[in-house]
Structure 1
Amino acid sequence: MNYFKKILRFAIPYRKFGFLNIFFNILYALFSALSFAALIPMLDVLFKPEDKVYKEPLYTGFSGLKDYLQEYINYLVTSYSGDDEMKGLILVVGLVLVLFLLKNIFNYLAMFFITFLRNGVLKDIRNNMYKKVVDLPISYFSEKRKGDVIARITSDVLEIQHSFLSVLELIVREPLTILFTILIMFGISAKLTIFVFLFIPIAGMIISRVGKSLKKKSDRVQREQGEFLSIVEETLGGLRVIKAFSAESKFYQTFAKSTNRFFNFSNSLLNRKNLASPTSEFLGILVIGVLLWYGGKMVLVDQTLDASSFIAYMGLAYNILTPAKAISKATYGVKKGNAAAERVLDILETQNPIKNPKSSQSKVTFENCLELKNVSFKYENDYVLEDFNLKVNKGHTVALVGQSGSGKSTIANLATRFYDVNKGEILIDDINIKNIKKKSLRNLMGLVTQDSILFNDTVKNNIGLGKEGATHEEIIEAAKIANAHEFILELPDGYETNIGDSGNKLSGGQKQRLSIARAVLKNPPIMILDEATSALDTESERLVQDALEKMMRNRTSIVIAHRLSTIQNADSIVVMHKGKIIEQGTHDELMKSAKNYRKLVEMQNLA
């Protein structure tokens, strides 16, 4: 119920549809019971034509209400039909048909309004989940599989709609249908109703035992679905490698094992769920059987109940079965939905450790320097940086070099606040970046990474991501600075060409130049280049390097370099080893006096 309450808060904006649904459900429940009660006068007309009432009956109190209503309807039918019995029959049949028609109209209207609520909640949960996924730090996704996150946004949310939100349809309608039906049943025969309802708690206990393990089984199904979606996502991302190493069968086996587990879990879940309907139906028919025996005895032997009332009573008793079955199915639905809701709320309620400051610094310009002061950081157990200090003055280019794992890319992640430092602080103009709003901080920085991250969209929209509302002329200018304009014009539709998933219609050098154009369009005061040329051939590297030099002119830059030939003009080169600075200076200074940097240069030249 706790998960159910948390999901229900998404229904608040759609509460007017909920109230309309409740209103029409009340009318549906009332007319559902009345439509069966109206059978009594029709049966009286058919079976007891001699019992016509010519004089309007007198109301004698609540205890005689049933007889009063029966006689009053009989009186109205007699008044209308006179001696023509078919006329009276047509009237009663018409009354029953009108009641059933109204019942179904109200049912449709109730379903019509709840549809807006259900789909609205579905939309809002998905929007909130997407917003949360985008907001959560990168560290969160190093622990979660992408396919699992996709499964939560798609199938888990859909499961909530099918299970939890279907309960909203039943929460008023079915209990009220049962309530109104029972009231009329009591009106017809209190003795018979009390006798029948002695059996209902026993039936309820049997049904609840069937659904006990549904949540656990459903949770296993949902988790396994996330697992094979992750395998699909990884397969599509690494298809070239899989084909190159002829690993198709290995990945197929992994996928088949996951779908086989999903098959077994789903069978177990659905078989348990499918047991609910026949169990509840059989128990319902069992109650009807007892009712036929005891009620028949009251009509035939005791003669305390007339035949027409008993037939209508049987209709009312059967009328309880459908809502009782629906409530039974809804109970299973809630148990199944609990597992999905738990997985959805796990994301929605995850706290982002990288928070915006409550009162942000109004100053968000960059005037003097970016400084890392006594910074220590670890991803898991071991520190990647320890007591690290670095100062980057405005307008200067600082290059970071060193072996893989020395902490170079970590500095880029910390400066952009993709991660927060464990100790120490990062300052921009003596302001701790934790006191600057994340959006304001990242507006000061441009990022070009080794992997050109592009989107399945046009060239224009990929570059335009760098600046909201950029004009076509600004996009062209950025592309020219990035040496991308010429190859863009050669594309089938120029700037309107769709570049495919992850830009796979372009070469590595072309993708990188689009990434640079995007950063140029943003025009930030601080540029971070994370091994921006390491994956390129010589010709592409020359074009990209030229584009980078144009972009870095009169700009503060932190360059993480793999190819040392690209950073010889840097104002300062920082040589790193295991999270510490071991050498620092210009290219010429380091070549003369420092052995580590010189050794790295000589090794690359030799290569």
Structure 2
Amino acid sequence: MNYLKKILVYALPYKRYAILNIIFNILYALFGALSFVVLMPMLNILFGENHDVITEKPVLNGLNNIGGYLKDSLTYSIQTFAENDQLKALTFIIILVIVVFLLKNIFNYMALYFGTFLRNGILKDLRDTLYTKTVNLPISFFSEKRKGDIMSRIASDVNEVQNSFLSVLEIIVREPLSVIFSIAIMLTISVKLTLFVFVFIPTAGYIISVIAKRLRQQSADVQKEQGIFLSILEETLNGLKIIKGFNAQSLFNSKFTDSTKRFFNFSNKMMNRQNIATPLSEFLGIVTIAFLLWFGGRMVLIDKSLLASSFIAFMGLAYNILTPIKALSKANNNVKRGNAAAERVLEIIETTNPLEDIPNAISKTNFKTSIDINSISFKYEDDLVLKNFSLKVLKGKSVALVGQSGSGKSTIANLVTRFYDVNDGSITLDGDNIKSLTKHSLRNLMGLVTQDSILFNDSIKNNILLGKENATDKEIIDALKIANAWEFVKDLPREIETNIGDSGNKLSGGQKQRLSIARAVLKNPPIMILDEATSALDTESERLVQEALENMMKNRTSIIIAHRLSTIQNADLIVVMQKGEIAEQGTHAELILKNGVYKKLVDMQSFE
């Protein structure tokens, strides 16, 4: 239960529900045991065993006689009320039995009622924490993890943890107390018979625990495999066009069915191990009852040391022990599964974020002079992507980064926005190291337009509002006009309220990109980062988007990562990169005159 113990902190906001659950579980366990005690006087009357009339109120003379005291007290109370009328006494006992059983079930419901708030509260808070943590983790984390696996942890693993919490409460409070109260009353009836029961119950418990031993590992295998097939499903839905276009349905079908087959096998092993616990525990319970009937029957029929009514009540209490023991076995299985799920949940929650804001980080609200990249080196894995790279971007100027794929252009954008941290060197904003700034304030000063137009399944308005949450419709439309997007948005059925579908797939590539630009325009940041914003567009769309970009970049500091060189002719500085280093830099005209790497790139693209 090590991992579930760590999850207990999420129960603190709901401790009042936990306390009430425990209180009502105690009352349920107590009245569960008492429900058999109140049957004894009725059985006495039915079996004609209540001949002794108790004329004086019983007195407790030491704990060793507590059983007799309780029995005599109950008999005395019934006799006093019924005035020795057996039918009246029987009616009273029946009413008493009904009341006790009613209270037992009311307490059971109340325990479950408050337990529901506890479990669902933990479920909600765990999912919220997991989602927040997932959003805050660096992008590098997701290059190593499958998205479907993370989805599985947030959905099914958290649900497994929630289910196990009720099992924890059963293990700690409800079922043990049911056993304790029942045993206490059994001892008052017959110490000898109770000791006989204890010969068999530990043996049964040991056998069941052996079966449940490997359940945690099998549960972990099931949950891990569920993450894998969810990942395949997520990749399939995202890449459906490519899968169909390359007739790769059979390949992905095979990958998915292989995963579901492993899930099938793991689930069968886990469920079969779980399923055997109930019939086995029931069989062991019947064996125990059978030996108890033989031993107790001798005490009633031969030794005459036990009344038949007391023996029947004892048998009921013995069964009352076996029921919670079976429940404990089932709860133990749930806890093992919950513990395996909690381990997977905590793996994400406890992941250290290397990009966490430092204590007393500065919240920067404006940009004054320059962005300075000072002798930085960076690698994603083993090989350096940037080597001793330096660059100064003055306020109000536009700097373009060009070069072949893999030269490190987009890495600069990832480092300036602090999606990753440099390995060596530093990046400063107005002389402040960006590591000393809060990530929120740093990114608040920057607008980002990427090659892939990342839009969400929502209205145009809500997609644009990511730039500025409290913007008016007029501000949104003005931003759309600057981005050359209003010309198609105004013709849509509901204009800015139109839903654009999953990833904006109801729109063309150029339209999606112009909405991305409108989002950045609405944010109105002093620094703009354009990461190959036109590389995926056709000529007509590129012209419209380029015009929108030029509108947006007026009077702003811009870092432009470009593949199409036609888009950066007017940049104040063009930096040509090769293998993570600066090959040459200057204006477009200066670099053409140098007749170097840039000129070759231009010639390759048949630049007009």
Into which bin does the TM-score normalised by the smaller protein fall? over 0.9
Q: Which deviations, in whole Å up to 9, do the C-alpha atoms of 1:10-35 show, x marking residues without a partner?
A: 00000000001111111111111011
Q: Which deviations, in whole Å up to 9, do the C-alpha atoms of 1:319-366 show, x marking residues without a partner?
A: 111111111111111111121111100000000000202122354421
Conserved in 2, the CA contact under 8 Å of 1:235 and 1:242? Answer: yes
Match of 1:172 in 2: 173
Match of 2:543 in 1: 542
Task: Give the structure-2-normalised TM-score.
Answer: 0.98
Deviates more, 1:69-78 or 1:504-513: 69-78
Q: Which deviations, in whole Å up to 9, do the C-alpha atoms of 1:264-292 show, x marking residues without a partner?
A: 11001100111111121211221111111
Conserved in 2, the CA contact under 8 Å of 1:364 and 1:436? Answer: no
Conserved in 2, the CA contact under 8 Å of 1:156 and 1:340? Answer: yes
Answering whether residue 19 of structure 2 is matched by residue 19 of structure 1, we say yes
Conserved in 2, the CA contact under 8 Å of 1:114 and 1:169? Answer: no
Match of 2:319 in 1: 318
Cα distance in 1 for residues equivalent to 2:519 and 2:500? 15
Deviates more, 1:466-475 or 1:368-377: 466-475
Cα distance in 1 for residues equivalent to 2:378 and 2:330? 52
Cα distance in 2 for residues equivalent to 1:473 and 1:91? 79
Deviates more, 1:158-167 or 1:207-216: 158-167
Deviates more, 1:595-604 or 1:432-441: 595-604
Q: SS of the residue aligned with 2:358?
A: coil
Shift of 1:84: 4.1
Q: SS of the residue aligned with 1:454?
A: coil
Q: SS of the residue aligned with 1:421?
A: coil
Match of 1:304 in 2: 305
Match of 1:48 in 2: 48
Cα distance in 2 for residues equivalent to 1:177 and 1:310? 19
Q: SS of the residue aligned with 2:428?
A: strand
One-letter amino acid of the structure 2 residue matched with residue 253 of structure 1: S
Q: SS of the residue aligned with 2:606?
A: helix
One-letter amino acid of the structure 2 residue matched with residue 593 of structure 1: K
Q: SS of the residue aligned with 1:86?
A: helix
Q: SS of the residue aligned with 1:424?
A: strand
Conserved in 1, the CA contact under 8 Å of 2:219 and 2:337? Answer: yes
* Residue 71 to residue 362, structure 1, CA distance change in 2 (3 Å): closer
Shift of 1:561: 0.6
Cα distance in 1 for residues equivalent to 2:159 and 2:362? 42
Q: Which deviations, in whole Å up to 9, do the C-alpha atoms of 1:383-435 show, x marking residues without a partner?
A: 00010001101111000000000000000000000000000000111110000
Over 6 Å off, 4+ runs = none
Q: SS of the residue aligned with 2:251?
A: helix
Cα distance in 2 for residues equivalent to 1:71 and 1:123? 52
Deviates more, 1:157-166 or 1:571-580: 157-166
Match of 2:259 in 1: 258
Deviates more, 1:314-323 or 1:159-168: 159-168
Residues 267-306 of structure 1: pairs in structure 2 closer than 5 A: 267-306=268-307
Residues 385-424 of structure 1: pairs in structure 2 closer than 5 A: 385-424=386-425
Shift of 1:491: 0.9
* Residue 504 to residue 362, structure 1, CA distance change in 2 (3 Å): closer
Match of 2:584 in 1: 583
Match of 2:135 in 1: 134
Match of 1:197 in 2: 198
Cα distance in 2 for residues equivalent to 1:378 and 1:594? 31
Shift of 1:212: 1.0
* Residue 498 to residue 261, structure 1, CA distance change in 2 (3 Å): same
Shift of 1:170: 4.3
Match of 1:510 in 2: 511
Match of 1:148 in 2: 149
Q: Which deviations, in whole Å up to 9, do the C-alpha atoms of 1:566-594 show, x marking residues without a partner?
A: 10000010000000000100000001113
- Root-mean-square deviation (Å): 1.3
Answering whether residue 531 of structure 2 is matched by residue 530 of structure 1, we say yes
Unpaired runs of at least 5, structure 2:
none
Residues 406-485 of structure 1: pairs in structure 2 closer than 5 A: 406-485=407-486
* Residue 50 to residue 169, structure 1, CA distance change in 2 (3 Å): closer
Answering whether residue 571 of structure 2 is matched by residue 561 of structure 1, we say no
Q: SS of the residue aligned with 2:506?
A: coil
Shift of 1:54: 5.5
Match of 1:342 in 2: 343
Deviates more, 1:199-208 or 1:181-190: 199-208
Cα distance in 1 for residues equivalent to 2:504 and 2:261? 34
Deviates more, 1:586-595 or 1:413-422: 586-595
Residues 64-103 of structure 1: pairs in structure 2 closer than 5 A: 64-82=65-83, 84-103=85-104
Cα distance in 1 for residues equivalent to 2:463 and 2:167? 41
Q: SS of the residue aligned with 1:302?
A: coil
Shift of 1:87: 1.9
Cα distance in 1 for residues equivalent to 2:122 and 2:221? 25
Conserved in 2, the CA contact under 8 Å of 1:52 and 1:74? Answer: no
Cα distance in 1 for residues equivalent to 2:118 and 2:54? 51
Task: Give the structure-1-normalised TM-score.
Answer: 0.98
* Residue 482 to residue 145, structure 1, CA distance change in 2 (3 Å): same
Conserved in 2, the CA contact under 8 Å of 1:148 and 1:226? Answer: yes
Q: SS of the residue aligned with 1:498?
A: coil
Match of 1:230 in 2: 231
Conserved in 1, the CA contact under 8 Å of 2:357 and 2:439? Answer: yes
Cα distance in 2 for residues equivalent to 1:57 and 1:66? 15
Q: SS of the residue aligned with 2:34?
A: helix
Conserved in 2, the CA contact under 8 Å of 1:54 and 1:79? Answer: no
Match of 2:8 in 1: 8
Unpaired runs of at least 5, structure 1:
none
Match of 1:371 in 2: 372
One-letter amino acid of the structure 2 residue matched with residue 293 of structure 1: W
